[in-house]
Structure 1
Amino acid sequence: MTATSEPRAQDPAVLRAAMVSELREDTIASEALAGAFSVVPRHLFAPGEPLEMVYDSDTALVTKTSSDGTALSSVSAAHIQAVMLEQAEIEPGMRVLEIGSGGYNAALIAELVGPDGSITSVDIDPEIVARARAFLRAAGYARVRVMQADAEYGVPSHAPYDRIIVTVGAWDIPPAWIDQLSTQGRIVVPLRFAGLTRCVAFDRAETGLVSRSYCLGGFVPMQGEGTFTATRVPIDGDATLRLDGPNPGFDVPALRKAIHGPRIERWSGAAFDLPDELELFVVTSAPQVPFLYASQRLVDQGVFTPAVTFGAAILLEGASFAYRTKRENENTGGWESGVFAYGPHAEAVAERYVELLRRWATEYRRRGTARIDYIPAAASGGTPTGWYAPKRHGVVAVSWP
């Protein structure tokens, strides 16, 4: 029997072409970006990984973990890389700073800026820096500059940058990034605020930065000076509240009693759609909206719906709270939004939540409605109106025009 060659389906070029075709359907509009994805050999940046996973557009490949299993570095899913690079609108000849090295994204950027542009990629981890350099050389992108440094301070030696692309989750925007940005520059960053993360493309504005676009996205957290840890408030062994700010003094015993007491459900009569946009509206429509995480055991017991295993935004008043749910309803386009509420004032907190659901459905049910501003601490102008969250170096403000 003669040996047969590897099935053509395992040919990296074939898999890469299929990935690009898929990305063109729902993500990539730029021919230049499609061309970059078509020529950069993604598999060289994830040696040892199955090719079908490497070229699956929705799969992120973890390249380093901590002792407790936390992901420290990864090759992001091609889909989110494409989204962020579309947001960046990188042109030939630009100078780009990438924060968070892995190699593959830097190679894509190198294709976009061309021979007259430059790219500097920085990472705090010397092992990741060495890997990225080796992968880029092997793939033919040795001209990409990879440096070890704390991203909190940028890389001033090669500034100014026309684009700063951040590929790690950031809780704040350090002054160095803004200082090293060119006059018409743009920062694309997965920014955490109000307990969630959105990939925001920021352009310069009179008082700081203003969003040009934003989308859902998640990344490994930033290390070094920019490290941030969310506050966790255990309610019992099966339920925890998480929030970005300090614990305001939740009444834990009363909340524990509410969780294990009766609940009510109320329905909005409004469509459940675009859940990431709806969630952004909810968490920026109240001064503080913690997220409730609960065990599968409580779901199996019927205390909560499966949404809480991933984190559900809750409105909370003392010992009463409510979180969002949905049910089938043809009259609202397929699904209707509603809430489950617990505690002695369940009716009041449920009504507040339901009114938010109705307002979003009638006024903001579309992509990209919110305006996100970043106002550095050094900027003048006083306290922003509407919802805002203080940061170490400034303030994030969200408004709904």
Structure 2
Amino acid sequence: MINTSADNTTASRTDDEAAVLRAAMVKELRNLDAITSEPVAAAFTAVSRHMFAIDEPLEKVYDADRALVIKRDQDGTALSSLSAAHIQAVMLEQAGIEPGMRVLEVGSGGFNAALIAELVGQDGTVVSVDIDAEIVGRARTCLDAAGYGQVEVVLADADAGVDTHAPYDRIVVTAGAWDIPSAWREQLSERGRIVVPLRMRGLTRSIAFDQDGEGLLVSDSYRLCGFVPMQGAGAYTERLVRVDEGIALRVDDQQQNFDIEALAAAVRTPQLELWSGAAFDLPDELELFLTASTPEMVMLHGSQEVVDQGLLALSVTRGVPALVDGGSIAYRTKRPNAATGGFESGVLAHGPDAQAVAERYADLLRRWASDHRRRGAALLRYLPMPAGTAEPAPGVIAKRLGAVEISWL
């Protein structure tokens, strides 16, 4: 005989514990300024996150900063995940979803779609699209079990959007995108907004783009984030250029040329150290400024072994913007300095022109610290162009279907 009474008691205990943890998570998200509005707070309070993370411990599920992998490929690479509640809250605040809106979610997991369903209410529409049949089936099952049967889950390549339900007031993308497909722009309503984790020269930022009435997308809302990459027609593999054992450059431009032999020799020469006198602060804002400053700026990655050998500094282990000029390379570092408010920005450079490339880099550090050292100093515009015609330039990041233009206020 099945003991349904015991099962019900266990389920009730789980729900009670989850409710306590959920309330604590919402409080933490408020304290972190990830949640800044009452509708988003109410959505996170209403949706049982643990019903979309089956068999995971409740403490992990309701950890505001923890993402949970849903599916991996044979090599162990994450293909789909339940994003950290922190970034989900940030993106929903960026989206500004209102009751009655039509919303397309790109990338299905279930939980985020349920949050959106709470925000649009009974008169709104939520469509969630994913290219993976297994993920679509899982999302459908979880949504139904959690009481969100009104959300439509579609199996398709999101690069083409879902035109049968367009136009959308909001498109919320929950996978790392390298470009903005034409279909997403075309399926927006006149008041439409796209919130997308956009990859730009090795960095990812969640950007809330609004239509400007002239065919362009504009934004002054961008936040640091990280997501598993898009699959299907919108997939893009950044070029990884191996410089030496444990040292590589990650670049967007498949055609950009490097003197690998000269760079490999350079990193094994003594480094030049140059201190800017400028404050080191808000590293995510600074890195966006550096990355957009010139097409010569790439992401330098190095292993812990390289750091332990004394070849490169610790900043390379997580990737750092690096300025490459022929056989010379410079990248950012920092040191304690009370005179600059805590830390000072500096440059480490290698190669025959180390002094010149370090001075160029230090000038960028000083310019940012003196003119743009604050949150939200960048204005981003996405300019659609014929495929393959965009050219990289200072302040311009070329994409296949257009370009991202970044200016600083």
Match of 2:89 in 1: 82
2:285 aligned to which of 253, 262, 277: 277
Note if contact 1:239-1:292 (Cα within 8 Å) is conserved in structure 2: yes
Cα distance in 2, alignment partners of residues 222 and 390 from structure 1: 18
Cα distance in 2, alignment partners of residues 296 and 210 from structure 1: 39
Note if contact 1:194-1:288 (Cα within 8 Å) is conserved in structure 2: no
Q: Offset at 1:388? A: 1.2
Match of 2:177 in 1: 170
- 1:211-290 alignment to 2 at 5 Å? 211-290=219-298
Q: Offset at 1:310? A: 1.1
2:31 aligned to which of 25, 33, 37: 25
Rate the CA distance shift 1:366–1:286 in 2: closer, same or farther, 3 A.
Answer: same
2:111 aligned to which of 104, 107, 113: 104
Q: Offset at 1:186? A: 0.3
Note if contact 2:391-2:398 (Cα within 8 Å) is conserved in structure 1: no
The letter of the residue matching 1:116 is: D
Cα distance in 2, alignment partners of residues 227 and 7 from structure 1: 43
Match of 1:292 in 2: 300
Q: What is the SS of the residue equivalent to 1:290?
A: strand
Cα distance in 2, alignment partners of residues 284 and 51 from structure 1: 41
Match of 1:328 in 2: 336
Aligned residues: 396
CA RMSD of aligned residues (A): 2.0
Cα distance in 2, alignment partners of residues 153 and 5 from structure 1: 41
Cα distance in 1, alignment partners of residues 298 and 385 from structure 2: 25
Alignment of 1:115 with 2:122, yes or no, is yes
Alignment of 1:313 with 2:321, yes or no, is yes
Q: Offset at 1:368? A: 1.0
Cα distance in 2, alignment partners of residues 84 and 357 from structure 1: 29
Q: Offset at 1:293? A: 1.0
Alignment of 1:93 with 2:108, yes or no, is no
Which is worse superposed, 354-363 or 305-314? 305-314
Rate the CA distance shift 1:278–1:212 in 2: closer, same or farther, 3 A.
Answer: closer
Rate the CA distance shift 1:9–1:319 in 2: closer, same or farther, 3 A.
Answer: farther
Note if contact 1:321-1:341 (Cα within 8 Å) is conserved in structure 2: yes
**Runs of 4+ residues deviating >6 angstroms:** 4-10, 382-385
Alignment of 1:56 with 2:56, yes or no, is no
Q: Offset at 1:208? A: 1.2
Q: What is the SS of the residue equivalent to 2:24?
A: helix
Note if contact 2:210-2:219 (Cα within 8 Å) is conserved in structure 1: yes
Q: What is the SS of the residue equivalent to 2:63?
A: coil
Which is worse superposed, 346-355 or 20-29? 20-29
- TM-score (norm: length of structure 1): 0.95
Match of 1:356 in 2: 364
Q: Offset at 1:249? A: 2.0
- Superposed CA offset, 1:262-315 (max 9, x none): 111111111100001000101111123111111111111122122111111101
Note if contact 1:371-1:399 (Cα within 8 Å) is conserved in structure 2: yes
Q: Offset at 1:316? A: 1.0
Note if contact 2:71-2:79 (Cα within 8 Å) is conserved in structure 1: yes
Rate the CA distance shift 1:286–1:5 in 2: closer, same or farther, 3 A.
Answer: closer
Match of 2:146 in 1: 139
Q: Offset at 1:390? A: 2.2
Rate the CA distance shift 1:373–1:287 in 2: closer, same or farther, 3 A.
Answer: same
Cα distance in 1, alignment partners of residues 202 and 239 from structure 2: 10
Task: Mark the runs of 5 or more structure 1 residues left unpaired by the alignment.
Answer: none
Rate the CA distance shift 1:303–1:268 in 2: closer, same or farther, 3 A.
Answer: same
Note if contact 1:10-1:51 (Cα within 8 Å) is conserved in structure 2: no
Q: What is the SS of the residue equivalent to 1:32?
A: helix
Rate the CA distance shift 1:90–1:9 in 2: closer, same or farther, 3 A.
Answer: closer
- Superposed CA offset, 1:214-240 (max 9, x none): 010110000000000010111122111
Cα distance in 2, alignment partners of residues 6 and 158 from structure 1: 38
Q: What is the SS of the residue equivalent to 2:311?
A: coil
Cα distance in 2, alignment partners of residues 9 and 271 from structure 1: 48
Q: Offset at 1:8? A: 9.2
Cα distance in 1, alignment partners of residues 49 and 240 from structure 2: 37
Q: Offset at 1:16? A: 0.3
Alignment of 1:13 with 2:19, yes or no, is yes
Rate the CA distance shift 1:171–1:10 in 2: closer, same or farther, 3 A.
Answer: same
Alignment of 1:210 with 2:218, yes or no, is yes
**Percent identity, aligned pairs only?**
61
Match of 2:43 in 1: 36
Rate the CA distance shift 1:221–1:383 in 2: closer, same or farther, 3 A.
Answer: closer
Alignment of 1:151 with 2:158, yes or no, is yes
Note if contact 1:8-1:14 (Cα within 8 Å) is conserved in structure 2: no
Q: Offset at 1:155? A: 0.3
